[in-house]
Amino acid sequence: MITECFNRLSFDDDELIRDISKRAAPKIGICANQLGVTLTVCHIMEGPLNLEKLANFDCADLVHDVSEIYYRLDIETGKLNNCFWPRCGARKQ
C-alpha cells in the first residue's frame, strides 16, 4: 500500500510533504522520513490534505496537526483513529 501511495503522489505534493516533515519532525522527536511516509499515506488514503495550508501553519498548529496524524494514522489501512481530523484535511462526502 505504501508504494501505491508514493506512486500517486505529485511532485509538488512530495516537495511540500518533505518540507513539512523536515520542519516538524525535530519538534516532535521523530524521524523526518517516517513522518513523510505517514503524511503521504494520510494524504493519499484519508485526505487529501491541504498541504500548502499545513506548511503555512504556525509552529504550534503544525506540531499539533502533524503529531496527531503521526500517532493516530493506522499505516496499514491509511485511516485516522480516535475521531481525529486535521484542520488541513478535506472532509470526505
Residue 8 pLDDT greater than 90, yes or no: no
Give per-residue pLDDT as tens, 63-87. 999 999 999 999 888 888 888 888 8
- DSSP characters for 65-90? HHHHHHHHEETTTTEE-TT---TTBP
pTM over 0.85: yes
Give per-residue pLDDT as tens, 29-72. 999 999 999 999 999 888 789 999 999 999 999 999 999 999 99
Which has more pLDDT, 72 or 4? Answer: 72
Tell me the three state secondary structure of residue 29.
coil
> What's the DSSP call for residue 91?
P
